[in-house]
A and B are shown apart, each in its own frame.
Chain A
Amino acid sequence: MDFLAEGARDAFHLLLSGDAEVYHAIFVSLLCSVTAVGLAALVGIPYGTWLGLERRVLGSVQVLLLRLGMFIPTVVLGLLVYAFLSRRGLFGSMDLIYTKQAIVIGEFLLALPILGTFAHAAAQERGPRVAETVRTLGAGRWQVLRAVISENRLVLMGAGLAAFARCLTELGISINVGGTFRMKTETLPTKIATELSGGDFARAVACGVVLMLVAMVPGFIAFGMTRGKRS
């Protein structure tokens, strides 16, 4: 089991020596998952909250679809997005296959059901009370939505973190639609896979340790932000 300790040592060495490939993979991983989660939050949170506030047309079907969406394997999402973006696909002419944008599209679809489901659940539970209060103060439809979202922000931040963690660490999307191109579309998880298939086990372990370090940062940030909220 020496290789894990060696991997940790190599990981710090890679980070300290400013290894361009590793830093680029960190950059691509963060850029894609932050963008994807940001876009998914913009769409999924208002949508889920809207679904949870009142009875909607086919509301339970929409909720079911959101919940089922959380269970789509990332590799299937990758295949789905590939099918649309491939040259033979519907959007093939847009030249998006094997780009960071393609990864963002896939990760957006990964994050959307998570944010939507949590926003819906939170709104259903606490939304009506908040909505009633702000309506008596003369709030319009949009202001009600904003008030409910604001009231639920801790839960939504948790959902955002969960979505971010999934996007940052997923392999199935970025391998299929990103193409694992070095210094272009290589993310940290795909870098681990390609280093391993190239036989460089030590580097793969080191990249794994780097990925874990990067993945923990948002957890600590969120902890710092919410600490003391109870008081």
Chain B
Amino acid sequence: MRFLVALLSLLALAACGDASATRQGPLRLATTTSTHNAGLLEHLLPLFTADTGIEVDVLPVGTGKALRLGEAGDVDVVLVHARVREDAFLAAGYASERRDVMWNDFVILGSAADPAGIRGSETASEALARIHKAQAKFVSRGDDSGTHIRELALWAAAGVNPHDHPKSYFEAGAGMGGCLTRADELRAYLLCDRGTWLAYRRTLALEILTEGDPALRNPYGVLVVNVARHPHVRAEDATRFAAWLTSAQGQKAIGAFRLDGRALFHPVDAKPQGND
């Protein structure tokens, strides 16, 4: 409802042609489904609001779309995980600043039958090379999300092209949860962030087959949409949000978040932890 009001007031603002006025209503954050599915934001945002009095509306979308929303000035702040894209976003002047926020990691999931025999692979490259060789089914996000971008980079690092076997490479164009369901039905492999996996795993017959490779680390960054480009964005509140996330207090709150009794997102200065 609050989002609707914000949307309507934005439309009203646009209709008046008064584009320079700061938008009213809650701060708008575009973020990836991975932070949202795991419940991290539900944990962090009330703490932030209690500290600052700033309310936040969340738009959970893929990294690609989150950045586009930022480019268009439709949101005030963006929290995503695709470092190369984030740097390009900053360099193009869409953001006034970028900060490292936290990291979590990806895992490679598959059915217990493991037709490509990737269980126990030391590295993601090795696992993907085996999947490629066995022509085993693989579900790709295919939606230009941070996870999709990382998946493509991992294929490239493995030196194989998944499109060599179009019959067994399934590009879903869907979110992480939708892809988990699809992979579960197809008994296919897929790349998933650990948070979404933990949030969904009870309903799935998939299991973790490869994890712990440093190449599977997944850093998140926060970007404040550039007020010089979009005068209506709430730059001041957005900057406070970015500063809060990276403050000692915000970092502690991130580290304190638990799903199934385990830490999922790690403060930026945290050492990589062994994956139990």
Chain A residues in contact with chain B, CB under 8 A? 86-87, 97-98, 179-184, 186, 190-191, 193-195, 197-201
Contacts and interface: CB of A to CB of B under 8 A. Distances in A.
Interface stretch (B16-24, B94-102, B170-178): B170-178
29 contacts: A87-B185, A97-B185, A179-B172, A180-B172, A180-B174, A182-B171, A182-B173, A183-B166, A184-B170, A190-B173, A191-B173, A194-B172, A194-B174, A197-B62, A197-B65, A197-B143, A197-B173, A197-B174, A197-B175, A198-B62, A198-B65, A198-B143, A198-B144, A198-B173, A199-B61, A199-B64, A199-B66, A199-B69, A200-B144
A193 B185 CA distance: 21
Interface of B: 61-62, 64-69, 142-145, 166, 170-175, 182, 184-186, 205
A195 B142 CA distance: 10
Nearest to B166: A183
If over half of A's interface residues share one DSSP class (helix, strand or loop), that class is named, otherwise mixed; here it is loop
Given A194-B142, A198-B64, 4 more contacts: A98-B185, A186-B173, A197-B61, A198-B173
Contacts of A193: 173
A86 B172 CA distance: 17
A182 B142 contact: yes
Nearest to A196: B65
Contacts of B174: 180, 194, 197
Contact of A201 (B68, B144, B145, B170): B68
A199 B182 contact: no
Contacts of A199: 61-62, 64-69, 144
Nearest to A186: B173
Contacts of A198: 62, 64-65, 142-145, 173
Contacts of B67: 199
A98 B186 contact: yes
B204 to A, nearest CB: 11
A179, A181, A191, A199 — most chain B CB neighbours (10 Å)? A199
A14 B174 CA distance: 22
A97 B188 CA distance: 13
Contacts of B175: 197
Given A98-B182, A197-B143, A180 B173 contact: yes
B175 to A, nearest CB: 7
A230 B49 CA distance: 70
B185 A86 contact: yes
Contacts of A179: 170, 172, 182, 185
Contacts of A186: 173
A98, A183, A195 — most chain B CB neighbours (10 Å)? A98
B172 to A, nearest CB: 6
A195 B174 CA distance: 10
Contacts of A200: 64, 144
Nearest to B184: A87
Nearest to B142: A182
